[in-house]
Amino acid sequence: MTIELSKINHHGVNEVKAYQLLFKNNIPVPKYSIVQSEIEAVKEARKIGFPIVMKIVSDDIPHKSDVGGVITNVISKDQVTSAYKNIIRQISNNIPKARINGVLLSKQEPKGTEVVVGMIRDPQFGPTMMFGLGGLFVEILKDVSFRICPVDRIDVEEMINEIKGKQVLLGYRGKPKLDIDSIADIIINVSNLTIENPNIMEIDLNPIIVYEKGAVVVDAKLFVNEK
């Protein structure tokens, strides 16, 4: 079984709304703000702290980076202003009919180990959770595990132990063990969110960056039933 974000008869939720929903359900997200102007962007960037990531916010653009809607490693006031102008210009040129809700500023988190957590409402099995390591592990090796919702701590431990690359999380060649408990909390909280909100059809948290202590969702896609 493969989890894919088909978007058929589904409506994509923009990332600000996704972050809001995740935060309300105890799923960690970066510091963020949505802005409507260059002046506001500079003000909010200073509050968040550099470096930051800037992304277009639009319900009409699910894949922001493909159309010039994402700029990373913004480290100064001048770069904020330039990035804001570039994003708006790129979207206006590439997707002129797109409805723009603003620009999302979020804290650019330090590098760490990437994992992915997903959910899809399978026609046969119902809401199903997916977990795997990020990068090549999920893209090429398809090293993922699945459980039907709801999941508990035992289910999550089994999911983590089932993936071939689990040693990356448990520590190897002198590298420290990562925060497995934070990963487990995210998976359980996404499962609970799914059960409590039957209109959410698909969730794709990719990547989630995991550290020795803590984890944070840095990119989130949610799709809901249009009805």
In a domain, 22, yes or no: no
Per-residue pLDDT reduced to its tens digit, 183-218: 999 999 999 999 999 999 999 999 999 999 999 999
The overall pTM is greater than 0.85: yes
The range of the structural domain enclosing residue 140 comes to: 111-225
Q: Are residues 93 and 188 in the same domain?
A: no
Q: How many residues in the chain?
A: 227
Confidence of residue 151 (pLDDT cuts 50, 70, 90): very high
For position 12, what pLDDT does the model report? 78
Q: Are residues 115 and 65 in the same domain?
A: no
Per-residue pLDDT reduced to its tens digit, 37-89: 999 999 999 999 999 999 999 988 878 888 999 999 999 999 999 999 999 99
Domain harbouring 88, CATH code: 3.30.1490.20
Strand extents, DSSP E, 52-197: 52-57, 70-74, 102-107, 113-122, 126-133, 144-148
Domain harbouring 207, CATH code: 3.30.470.20
Per the structure, the count of domains in the chain is 2
DSSP code for 19: H
